[in-house]
Structures are given as structure tokens and as C-alpha cells.
Structure 1
Amino acid sequence: MAYLYLVRHGETLLNADDRVNGGTVDSPLTAKGVASARALGELLGNVHFDRIISSPLPRALATTKLVVGADVPIITDRRLREMTLGDWDGLPVAMIANDAEFHHFNEHLDAFDPAPMHAEPIPELWQRGQAALRAAVAGVPDDGRVLVVAHAIILTLLARVLTGTTTIDASRVDGELANTSVTVLQTDQTEWTKLAWEVTPDRADQLSVDQLRLFN
């Protein structure tokens, strides 16, 4: 069974401005995002990772380097890039908040139609995301640990659905994984078990004894 540490990138300027931060746009990490990524690096400092994988988007790569160090080998996988939201990418959320498709996107993914805004279909996102995580743990030694740094939409979907927490349709109802949070799963590629959920450096003191072992 391999351990998979799923990290969402640090806060970006687009995040701070409450703009859509999809797969066709990028912006630098804020000072808060940088500080939080460094703090997460301290939390994960005692963990030996057999493999470190990042989305190729600059915000994810920058976060990865702040967490593990600039000189540590990092694998990039395009399948981990954020969902492409087409014409929505970069827009203020307030501009699309009353759009029926935005409601579907957040509350009822099965009803979401990506065509009007030229977004990526959810089945394609799901398939490439699953494939990326299965490849991430393939060939890793038993009890090996893999760090994956990516994005809110794709990681929230994968973590909630693979662990059976919810369906694809309802996977966004409870919101997205927080910036610079780590979610730990254990998997044999058939079963995916949630061990720690959305841990941020400022909440590490809330971990159970068993969860603390994941960070040593």
C-alpha cells in the first residue's frame, strides 16, 4: 500500500482577487502563499518521499520547490494541470456567480455543460486525473510515499470520489481543498483510503496520534 500526499498549491494573486484560476491562466504566489508553502515544507520535512510529482503550471511548481527545496528532483505530469475553464478563466467570480452553469459547476456536476464557456468536460478531467494518480504510485515500494502538488478542482474531485466520500455529481458541494493543504490517502490502486484530510500547517496541532505518524 502506497501513501499519497495530495497538496494544493499556495495562494495566488488570482485566488486572492477571487478570480477563476483554471488551467489556461496562471499568476504568482502571494506573500501568504509563499509563507504557507514554506510552513508546509516544515510540516513535511521529516517525510521521505519516494517520488515527487507536480502539475507543470508555474504556481504548482513554485509551491513544490518551496515545500521540498529547489534542488530536489521533481517530475511534472501534464495530466495534473488544473481543469480548463475556457472563457471563465481569469474572470472575477462575481461576474459569473449568477450563471446557471456556475451553479451546476458547484452544486450538480452531472448537469454542468462545458460548451458555452469552452471548458473541459468533467469526464475528461476525471479520466486524466485518475490516470495521473495511478501512474504516481505505480512501482512505488510497499509503504512508499509520493507527493503530488496540483490544483483545487482536480484534487478535490479525485480525493473525494476515489475515497468514496461522495459522487462526481456532488463532489464540489462542500467546497474545494484549501490552498497549501495536504490530504493523505493510502492506496493499492484498487481501494483508496482517507487518512488525513485538508491538513494545513496552522491546524497540525489538531492531528490525531495516528495522523501525526504520517508526518514523521
Structure 2
Amino acid sequence: MKIAVICANGKEGRQIVKEGLERGLNITAVVRGENRSVATQAIQKDLFDLTASDLKEFDVVIDAFGAWTPETLPLHSTSLKHLCDLVSGKNTRLLVVGGAGSLYINSEHTAQVMDAPDFPDVFKPVAINMGKALTYLRTRTDVRWTYISPAGNFQADGVKTGKYMWGGEELLLNSNGESVISYADYASAMIDEAVNGNHIRQRISVVSE
């Protein structure tokens, strides 16, 4: 299996590359500048400059793109559209590092995490734009995509426990009543999905046990 990790220099991208290589998978880092991941194979190219030819040899493409400033937030949608167009109609699977803000907090699926009164205002613009990207992704029936939302508390420096639970469209709590996962455990879940491919054209979620 050949896997490309786009934006492999980011914090989650580096974790995914590391996890994949530790399992003996063939991982290529896709980076805009110098490769700072542990991958020895790299494509040095801006995401928007990638072509279908660049990705044609990969079984799975993992999109770890993230944007945080007001002027770059719309890139969540435009970057995803670009990647979808590159793998349209092909067997290549597109796995997306998603957000938790668009997870539902009721069984009717009428209220999302970002709608809650205690959701921090500072994170709302990111959550809204990542939610728009997911809405767009759902229209792409020509792409074998999977969108993986982390738990509400996504911990960059959290430890790797190796234990997690899959969820669906709703915010999932663990046995301690918490919605939390480390970047390392999320990377494990991402690589598991890359290998197994159990959730084609679905949004799923993951939480530490």
C-alpha cells in the first residue's frame, strides 16, 4: 500500500507519517517546503500545484491541511475541492483530517458542537469553515472519501495510549464522560482506516477510550 500524506510538516501530518512508517507502510510526505517529517520519500510541492499525475500511484491520500487565519480559512473548501478533482473517478481513497465542531450533539442532528453556548468564540471561524468543507465533500459521489473528526479535546501533546473508539456523526464520550484524543492516537486511527477502508463516503469520529 502506498500512502501520500499532504501537509506532512504539520503537527498531525508528522504524527500520521510517523505512525505509518512504524507499521512498515510505504509513506510519501507531500510538503510545500523542506521536508520536516521522518519520511524519506517526499514530494515538494504546494497543495494547489499538485496534479493528478502526482497522486496516481497512491492507494490512499491523507489530507492533513489546516488553516487558521481569517484570510486563509476558505482554503479548507478550495483545497479539498482541488484534491477531490485530482482523484475523481479513481480507486485512490481520500482521507481527511477533519474537525469536531461539526459533530452533532443531538440525535435529530439539528445542533452541532459549534452551536453550543460554551463553544469558544475563537474557534468558531475554523469550525464553520471546516464544516463547510465537509458539506462540500458530501456532494462528491465520484470520490472515495472518508472524513475523520477528532474528539472535542484534540491534544497535540497528549500521550499515545493505543486505545480508541470509533463513533459516527455525533460527539462521542468515553467511559469517563470525556471527548478527548491525542494527536498520536488520532494518527493510529487514521492509519487503521487507511489500511482497512471501512468507511467509504462517510464522516466518522474517534475518541480515546
Same fold, judged at TM 0.5 (above): no
Larger strand proportion, structure 1 or 2?
Answer: 2
TM-score (norm 1): 0.34
Q: Which has the higher contact order (CA 8 A, sep 6+)?
A: 1
